[in-house]
Amino acid sequence: MSTIRVPEADAAGWRCACCDCDLVLAPVELEYMGSHFSVELPACPQCGAVLVPEPLALGKMAEVEKLLEDK
């Protein structure tokens, strides 16, 4: 399983709302259209909270859809 990088997921400038520490990019497993993917998203190294960028939350996962079409 390859890790997908999305341009919207940029850890720079984000802080965890709980711990106030800097977020780092970490592979997060997502299920999308019946398939599992590993996507790099900004996550808190302390509590594990994951920031889902708005375009992803809205379902605009163009990179993932491209991957599905290639199969």
Identify residue 29 by its one-letter amino acid code.
E
Q: Is 3 near Zn ion (CB under 5 A)?
A: no
Confirm or reject binding of residue 28 to Zn ion (CB under 5 A).
no
Q: Any contact of residue 16 with Zn ion (CB under 5 A)? A: yes
Cβ count within 10 A of residue 58: 9
> Whole-number minimum distance, CB 24 to Zn ion, in Å?
11
Beta-carbon-side half-sphere exposure of residue 17 (alpha carbons within 13 Å): 3
Q: Does 18 bind Zn ion (CB under 5 A)?
A: yes
Reading the block at residue 1, the tokens are 């399983």
> Interface residues with Zn ion (CB under 5 A)?
16, 18-19, 44, 46-47, 49
